């Protein structure tokens, strides 16, 4: 607990600049995607070209963020739209996942965006729908100056190991637990 205002910058001396960073937002709490969209604002304000690739279509699907992002000139791909979640035909969803990753890989390797957001990519890794070794290799070998943010629960240890900065969003309490419905404008 900080009880008095800080008087000095607590960051270490002798820092070096990295050409680009890999960030991971994981955990069971809110704010993994939202904070990626907040960083997107920063990057847009800095004049960067930004790409957002969304891997999962869910109840929290970021329709509002997509609308504003596009207005701001962000290239936006809603890649999770094709999932059927049909247990009778699991191969279809694996194909959709592989095609989504192929698109993301192409965007990263093209090197035209200084920020690439891989929103909710961790689920595809956890479910084994896309190959983690290939994802790690593409991130590691990315063109200089391409920053990446990966979001989603249960980020694999290898991805955490590769990342520069990893934040866990932990749910301390949630309105759902008190029986309150998700709220448009706040939750989605």
Using CB under 8 A, which residues numbered 156 to 185 contact its own copies?
160, 163-185
* Residue numbers 4-63 binding its own copies by CB under 8 A: 4-5, 7, 9, 11-12, 14-18, 21, 23-27, 29-39, 41-46, 48, 59, 62-63
Number of residues interacting with its own copies: please give it, by CB under 8 A: 84
Between the CA atoms of 120, 124, 130 and 135, what dihedral angle is there, to the nearest 10 degrees?
A: 30
Residue 153 binds to its own copies (criterion: CB under 8 A): yes
Please name the helix (run of DSSP H) or strand (run of DSSP E) that holds residue 133, with its range, or none.
helix 132-140
Largest CA distance in the chain: 61
Cβ–Cβ under 8 Å, residues 95 and 82: no
Per CB under 8 A, which region of 2-10, 99-107, 135-143 contacts its own copies? 2-10
Nearer residue to its own copies within complex by CB, 9 or 133: 9
Minimum CB separation of residue 129 from its own copies in Å reads 8
Among all chains, which residue has been given the structure tokens 């957001």? 117
Residue 85 binds to its own copies (criterion: CB under 8 A): yes
Q: DSSP string of 83-130?
A: ----TT-HHHHHHHHHHHHHHHHHHHHHT--SEEEEETHHHHHHTTSS
Binding mask of the shown chain, residues 107 to 146, with x at each position contacting its own copies by CB under 8 A: -------xx-------x--xx-------------------
């Amino acid at each position: 607990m900080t009880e008095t205002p800080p008087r000095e910058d607590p960051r270490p001396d002798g820092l070096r600049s990295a050409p680009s960073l890999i960030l991971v937002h994981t955990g069971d709490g809110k704010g993994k995607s939202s904070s990626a969209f907040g960083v997107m604002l920063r990057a847009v304000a800095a004049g960067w070209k930004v790409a957002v690739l969304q891997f999962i279509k869910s109840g929290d699907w970021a329709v509002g963020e997509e609308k504003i992002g596009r207005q701001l000139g962000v290239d936006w791909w809603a890649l999770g739209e094709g999932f059927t979640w049909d247990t009778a035909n699991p191969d279809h969803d694996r194909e959709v996942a592989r095609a989504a990753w192929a698109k993301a890989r192409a965007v990263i390797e093209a090197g035209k965006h200084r920020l690439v957001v891989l929103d909710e990519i961790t689920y595809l890794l956890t479910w084994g729908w896309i190959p983690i070794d290939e994802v790690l290799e593409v991130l590691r070998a990315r063109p200089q100056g391409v920053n990446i943010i990966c979001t989603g629960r249960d980020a694999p240890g290898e991805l955490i190991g590769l990342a520069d900065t990893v934040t866990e969003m932990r749910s301390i309490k949630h309105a759902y637990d008190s029986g309150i419905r998700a709220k448009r404008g706040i939750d989605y």
